[in-house]
Amino acid sequence: KETLKANNESILIGEVWEDASNKISYNERRKYLLGNQLNGVTGYVFKNIILDFLTYLQYQRNYSIHTIKNYQNDLNLFLNFLSEESVSSFENVNYELIRKYLKHLHNLKYTAKSVSRIISSLRSLFKYLVNNNIILENPMLLVSTPKIERKLPKYLEYDEIERLLKS
């Protein structure tokens, strides 16, 4: 089996998860993720689907371990929200629920950039769910990302440029 390693960190996604001294099999990693990483998630089915999606991102889409960890964090946050809303299946997620989730993120003071990243994670997940016939319709199709404020570049005044060139 393939061994993955990134900056001597334990890797949660991969055929073999390796840290400094031990190797953990795919099934042990899966059990760890299901038991510890997706706490508060309603139902084993959610956890399995998310784990399959994260595995798909690694092996089919070739995403980096760090990107997958970010996806995992974003999806864990969303699944905890679904749990609070007593949603038991991805089939029950609709546009209105997504809007409610985005409002929830706004109330938690998430920045526009963070919300954009979370929306991107959710878009990928729901596209995967539709492509794999887990759900029929993608609730993310009408969701747009928030505008991210752009800052104007800072520039040097003419006298500052002259001083810089003279030194």
* CA nearest to 65, candidates 19, 113, 122: 19
Residues 6 or more apart whose CB falls under 8 angstroms from that of 129 comprise 49, 53, 90, 135, 138
CA distances from residue 162 to 25, 85, 153, 154, 166 in whole angstroms, order as listed: 63, 62, 20, 17, 6
Give the pLDDT of residue 156.
86
- Residue 118 · residue 73 · CB < 8 Å: no
DSSP label of 17: E
Joined together, the tokens standing for residue 111 give: 């920045």
* CA nearest to 57, candidates 130, 10, 127: 127
DSSP label of 9: B
Look over the chain and give the mean of its residue pLDDT values, rounded to a whole number: 78
Joined together, the tokens standing for residue 101 give: 């989730």
User: For residue 141, with 0-12 CB atoms within 10 Å meaning exposed, 13-18 middle and 19 or more buried, which class applies?
Assistant: exposed
Instruction: Give 60-72 pLDDT, tens digit per residue.
Output: 899 888 999 999 9
Instruction: Give 13-39 pLDDT, tens digit per residue.
Output: 443 344 433 444 545 554 544 444 444
The neighbour count for residue 134, using CB atoms within 10 Å, is: 17
Rounded distance between C-alpha atoms, residue 41 and residue 28, angstroms: 19
Give the pLDDT of residue 99.
95
